[in-house]
Copies of this chain bind each other. A is one copy, B any other.
Amino acid sequence: MRTSELVTPALLVDAHRLEDNLSTMADALPGSRLRPHVKAHKCTSLAARQEHMGHTAFTCATIREMEGMARAGLGEDLLLANEVFDATRLGALARAGARVTVAVDSDATIDAAARARVPEVVIDVNVGLPRCGCPPDQAGRLADRARAAGLSVRGVMGYEGHIVGLEDRPRRAAMLQESMGQLVLAAGDVGGDVISAGGTGTYDLNAWATEIQAGSYALMDTAYGNLGLPFAQALTVVATVISVSEGWAVADCGLKALGMDHGNPSIEGADVWFCSDEHVIFVPEFRARVGDRVAVLPAHVDPTVAYHDSLHVVEGDEVVDRWEVDLRGW
Given contacts A131-B276, A290-B109, A302-B277, contact A242 B83 (CB under 8 A): yes
Partner of A278, one of B61, B275, B278: B61
Of the listed residues A256, A259, A309, the one surrounded by the most CB atoms of chain B closer than 10 A to its CB is A256
Residues of B within 8 A of A277 (CB): 39, 61, 302-303
Asked if A130 and B248 sit within 8 Å, CB to CB, the answer is: yes
Interface string of A242-266 (1 = CB under 8 A from B): 1111111010100110011100000
Given contacts A289-B108, A307-B307, contact A85 B241 (CB under 8 A): yes
Q: How far is the CB of A128 from chain B (nearest CB, A)?
A: 12
A330 contacts the other chain (Cβ, under 8 Å)?
yes
Asked if B290 and A85 sit within 8 Å, CB to CB, the answer is: yes
Of the listed residues A241, A302, A303, the one surrounded by the most CB atoms of chain B closer than 10 A to its CB is A303
List residues of chain A with CB under 8 Å of any chain B CB: 7-10, 39, 61-63, 82-86, 105-106, 108-109, 126, 130-133, 135, 161, 240-248, 250, 252, 255-256, 259-261, 273, 275-279, 281, 289-291, 300, 302-303, 306-309, 328-330
Asked if A82 and B278 sit within 8 Å, CB to CB, the answer is: yes
Asked if A255 and B302 sit within 8 Å, CB to CB, the answer is: yes
Nearest neighbor of A248 in chain B, beta-carbon distance: B130
Asked if B290 and A256 sit within 8 Å, CB to CB, the answer is: no
Asked if B255 and A132 sit within 8 Å, CB to CB, the answer is: no
Q: How far is the CB of A326 from chain B (nearest CB, A)?
A: 13
Of the listed residues A39, A61, A289, A290, the one surrounded by the most CB atoms of chain B closer than 10 A to its CB is A290
Complexed CA–CA distance, A281 and B161 (Å): 13
Nearest neighbor of A306 in chain B, beta-carbon distance: B256
Partner of A330, one of B9, B241, B275, B302: B9
Asked if B132 and A243 sit within 8 Å, CB to CB, the answer is: yes
Residues of B within 8 A of A260 (CB): 259-261, 303
Nearest neighbor of A283 in chain B, beta-carbon distance: B130
Given contacts A106-B244, A277-B303, contact A131 B250 (CB under 8 A): yes
Residues of B within 8 A of A255 (CB): 259, 261, 300, 302-303
Residues of B within 8 A of A240 (CB): 85-86
Complexed CA–CA distance, A245 and B252 (Å): 42
Q: How far is the CB of A300 from chain B (nearest CB, A)?
A: 7
Given contacts A131-B279, A259-B260, A260-B261, 15 further A-B contacts (CB under 8 A): A7-B63, A7-B330, A82-B242, A82-B278, A82-B279, A84-B252, A85-B241, A130-B248, A130-B281, A133-B243, A252-B330, A255-B261, A255-B302, A256-B306, A277-B302
